[in-house]
Amino acid sequence: MEIAEELARQQKAISVAEFFEKNRQILGFDSAPRALITVVKEAVDNSLDACEEAGILPDIFVQIKRDGDYYQAIVEDNGPGIVSAEIPRVFAKLLYGSRFHTLRQSRGQQGIGISAGVLYSQLTSGKPTRVVSKIGPGHPAYYFELTINTSQNEPEILKAEEIEWERPRGTRVELEMEGSYVRSRRQSVYGSLKSAAIVNPHARITLVEPDGNVEVFERATDALPKKAYAIQPHPAGIELGELIKLLRYTEKKKLRVFLKETFSSIGAITAQELCSLSGQDPERAPGSLNHEEAKKLLSAFKQIKVKSPPVDCLSPIGEELVKAGLEKEYRLDFIATCSRPVSVYSGNPFLVEVGLGYGGELEREGRVEILRFANRVPLIYQQGACAVTHALENISWKSYSLSSPAGGGIPVGPAVLLVHLASTNIPFTSESKDAIADVPEILAEIDLGLKEVGRKLRRYLSRQSLLKERREKEEIIKKILPRIARKLSEVLEKEEPDIGPVVAKIMGNLLVKRAITQENGLASVRIDVENHSDLHRRFKLHEVLSCRAESADPLPKVIPIGDAYDHHWKMSMAPGERVTLCYQMPSEARLLQPVVEGVEEEIVTGAKVI
């Protein structure tokens, strides 16, 4: 027999499950700690996606148990559940899912995640994965024990039965595996869930650790993320091979109809213009275009200006919730956020969101903490291989008041940087989904977002530096002026004057001066407010009394607070302006020091600042 014939007999196909069985490190199962993190992350991502698609506020329970030589990971949610016929394929068939061919933002795209966890579990422990799911009250709960037949990439059902389950709906998955539980700030189950809680502020996540310690990441909002809707591919960045494939396999009979209905942002007029520019008959069959004609059509795509893709295919976090997420998990002095406009790479819409937190309890001498996210999923490993890190390292952070090592790199200082990429197709560097590829369009948007929050930080620190100088100057003045006033009053034999107005004028402060006169059981209160600064000031002035004020001019807004009443006036004062507020109250009524809200403490004299 010829060698070629013998070699031909040895050729055979392998299933995707069999491939990953021998190459599990590609999916992120290359170490014991990382394997446990990956399994939990994939299960939690599935739960979050399912809850959001069903319009349910996620309430997710995660428990890690030590069971002899293995760890048991349990993830349970309050989602819509899974119909019994689909449970085996969802959990025990790789590359099975509903999102791969859909252009909209979602956490899972490839259909590998949780089924890869099932594969790792059966490889290391030899035990099946246990799944319980219920689709609603009045429906039975179904219990399955599953493994994957790796040679065929098909589920094997070891046990299937109806059971009683106290939850009205939801899904529970239990996996046993070799692993290692570590407790660290970032690369751990705890760190992964904490990061997930920051960019999913609508979710409540409970973690029970192997030692019984319970950590609860409470939700910061009851508002669900904006629902993402599927769109058609965008013509910007589409490649020739993809265009030829679309032309060949479309069911549309006319080229103009194909262009209008296959791509987003192309209407009837634009479709006609594309046909004209490429020299094609708009009525011809799309599949009849040859290679050269397809190239001309692709060239026409680049000549016309097409509006940006619809933004409803994306579900960004939003600047307010990025800030709320950071505030929830960190104690910070300052937070800046930025949301970039929607852009496109290779026909895929994407959007970059950036958050920067500074000060508070963050380490002052260590490197800035980097939080990377893709479609609301934390990226824990391969930080150095990620586009986020590369964009960050290429910025001169000294220009934004953060220390930067010689030759560039991650800056040093008490700061945390959050970067979230939302896209219909995240360009990961590998199947483990740990790092974003260096796509030029994405790098450019991350760079612009980081620089924007950097400018906001620079303005904040510059302002803080000026305020510090003011505080030091005012402290010196307050030490000297009382001595001068005391000496003058002794020399002139007069009462020692109030130096508050003098300090306010010297410092250019906002002066709040209150005077009270008593007559016939009534106390008449007069508050003079003077703006000695050279800036327009907008703020609220509060007076908290034990009763309602009478004859107030101008009228304040009154809010009961317990046994007292908060009277507040909205003020808008030009430089040099003076405003007088008056009211009356019974002589026996109690009142607190005036309170100013909305300006820095350092520029106010005569009142408390909140």
pLDDT, one tens digit per residue, over 560-587 is 988 889 999 999 999 989 999 999 999 9
Mean pLDDT for 295-303 is 86
The span from the CA of 81 to the CA of 135, in Å, is 4
Residues 170 and 244 in one domain: no
Give the pLDDT score at 14.
57
- Per-residue pLDDT at 464 exceeds 80: no
Q: How many CB atoms lie within 10 A of CB 142?
A: 21
The mean pLDDT value of the chain amounts to 85
CATH code at position 418: 3.30.230.10
Residues 325 and 285 in one domain: no
Q: How many other C-beta atoms lie within 10 A of the C-beta of residue 6?
A: 9
Q: Output the domain CATH number for residue 284.
A: 1.10.8.50
| 537: Cβ contacts below 8 Å, ≥ 6 apart | 510, 531, 571, 572, 573, 599
Residue 100's pLDDT is what? 46
Instruction: Give the integer Cα–Cα distance in Å for 158 and 227.
Output: 37
* Listed residues 162, 182, 217: the one ending a domain: 217
The Cα–Cα gap between 136 and 343 comes to 40
Note whether 347 and 453 are same-domain residues.
yes
Question: What is the structure's pLDDT at 606?
Answer: 86
pLDDT at 418 > cutoff 60: yes
Q: How would you class 279 by CB atoms within 10 Å of its CB: exposed for 0-12, middle for 13-18, buried for 19 or more?
A: exposed
Would you say residue 477 lies in a domain?
A: no
Report pLDDT for 472.
67
Interval 107-131 mean pLDDT: 79
The predicted model gives 408-419 an average pLDDT of 88
* Arithmetic mean of pLDDT, 475-490: 69
Sequence-ordered alpha helix ranges (H) in 238-279: 240-249, 255-262, 268-278
User: Residue 16: its pLDDT value, please?
Assistant: 58
Residues 262 and 316 placed together within one structural domain of the fold: no
Number of folded domains that form the chain: 4
| pLDDT at residue 140, rounded to an integer | 92
Residue 111's pLDDT is what? 47
Q: What is the pLDDT of residues 139-148, one digit of tens each?
A: 999 999 999 8
Is the domain of 95 the same as that of 193?
Answer: yes
Q: Do residues 278 and 337 both lie within one domain?
A: no
Annotate 454-473 with b (16+ C-beta within 10 A) or e (fewer): bebbeebbeebeeeeebeee
pTM of the model: 0.70
Say if residue 495's pLDDT is above 80.
no
- Please state the rounded mean pLDDT for residues 322-334: 88
Mean pLDDT of 518-539: 90
Residues constituting the chain: 610
What pLDDT, on a 0 to 100 scale, did the predictor assign at position 120? 85
Of the listed ranges 113-127, 199-213, 447-461, 486-500, the least confidently predicted one is 486-500
Residue 45 lies in a domain: yes
Residues 449 and 540 both lie in one domain: no
pLDDT of residue 101: 46
What are φ and ψ of residue 485, in 5° steps?
-65, -40
Query: Closest by alpha carbon to 293, among 303, 281, 310, 306?
Result: 281
Please give the torsion angle defined by the CA atoms of residues 319, 322, 326 and 329, in that order, rounded to the nearest 10 degrees. Answer: 150
Q: Residues 427, 560: one domain?
A: no
Instruction: Indicate whether 57 belongs to any domain.
Output: yes
Task: State the pLDDT at residue 240.
Answer: 85
Q: Which two structure tokens, joined as six digits, stand for 31? A: 């170490």
Position 29 confidence tier, pLDDT thresholds 50, 70, 90 = confident
Spatial CA neighbour of 474 closest among 503, 498, 497, 501:
503
Quote the CA–CA distance of 151 and 14 in Å, as a whole number: 7
**Domain CATH number, residue 91:** 3.30.565.10
Q: DSSP of 314-378, one letter per residue?
A: -----HHHHHHHHHHH---SEEEEEEPPPEEETTEEEEEEEEEEESTTS-SSSBPEEEEEETTEE
What is the spatial distance between Cα 232 and Cα 250, in angstroms, rounded to a whole number?
Answer: 13
Q: Which domain holds residue 316?
A: 311-461
Structure tokens at 61: 């329970």
Average pLDDT score over residue span 457-475: 74
pLDDT of residue 584: 93
User: Among the three residues 461, 485, 508, which one is the final residue of a domain in this structure?
Assistant: 461
Residue 527 lies in a domain: yes
Do 131 and 144 contact (CB within 8 A), yes or no? yes
Q: In the predicted model, what is the mean pLDDT of residues 509-523?
A: 90
Higher pLDDT residue, 344 or 333? Answer: 333
Same domain, 170 and 257: no
pLDDT tens-digit readout, 66-118 = 988 899 999 999 999 999 998 998 888 877 655 544 555 666 554 467 888 88
Q: Examine the pLDDT at 273 and tell me if it is beyond 70.
A: yes
The mean pLDDT of 387-413, rounded to a whole number, is 85
Would you say residue 471 lies in a domain? no
| Model pLDDT, residue 591 | 86
User: How many whole angstroms separate alpha carbon 465 and alpha carbon 467?
Assistant: 5
Residue 117, in any domain of the structure: yes
Instruction: Give the model's confidence band at 363: pLDDT under 50 very low, under 70 low, under 90 confident, else very high.
Output: confident
- Are 264 and 317 part of one and the same domain? no
pLDDT of residue 213 exceeding 70 = yes
DSSP structure string for 505-563: HHHTPEEEEEEEEEETTEEEEEEEEEE-SSS-EEEEEEEEESS--EEEESPPEEEEETT
Q: Is the peptide bond between 554 and the residue preceding it cis, with omega within 30 degrees of 0?
A: yes
Counting Cα atoms < 13 Å in the Cβ hemisphere of 481 gives 18
Q: How far apart are CA 102 and CA 195, in angstroms?
A: 27
What residues have CB less than 8 Å from 213, skipping those under 6 apart?
A: none
Beta strands 595-597; 608-609: pairing state: parallel
> How does residue 214 score in pLDDT terms, banded at 50, 70 and 90?
very high
Give me the pLDDT at residue 496, please.
Answer: 67
Is residue 550 in some structural domain? yes
Least confident span in 97-106, 171-180, 250-259, 591-600: 97-106
For the segment 329-357, the average pLDDT, to the nearest whole number, is 88
Token representation of residue 18? 């069999």
Q: Distance (Å, rounded) from C-alpha 93 to C-alpha 180?
A: 26
Residues 6+ apart with CB under 8 A from 399: 454, 458
- Cα 400 to Cα 449: distance, rounded to the nearest angstrom: 13
CATH number for position 566 = 2.60.40.2960
Residues 27 and 74 in one domain: yes
Which residue shows structure tokens 């996606």?
49
Task: Give how far Cα 515 sits from Cα of 90, 525, 529, 594, 597, Å.
Answer: 74, 6, 12, 11, 20
- Among 183, 217, 251, residue at a domain's last position: 217
* 3 state DSSP class of 149: strand
Flag whether 600 is in a domain: yes
The per-residue pLDDT for 473 is: 66
Radius of gyration of the chain measured on its C-alpha atoms:
32
Dihedral of alpha carbons 133, 82, 317, 369, sign: positive
Q: How many helices (H) and strands (E) does the chain have?
A: 14, 24
Tokens 């609860």 map to which residue?
216
pLDDT greater than 90 at residue 448: yes
Domain shared by 536 and 605, yes or no: yes
The HSE-up count of residue 296 (CA atoms within 13 Å, CB side) is: 14
CB 262 within 8 A of CB 250: yes
Residues with Cβ within 8 Å of 224's Cβ and at least 6 positions away in sequence, in order, are: 52, 55, 57, 202
pLDDT at 470 over 90: no
In angstroms, the first-to-last Cα distance of the chain is 91
The CA distance from 579 to 331, in Å, is 37
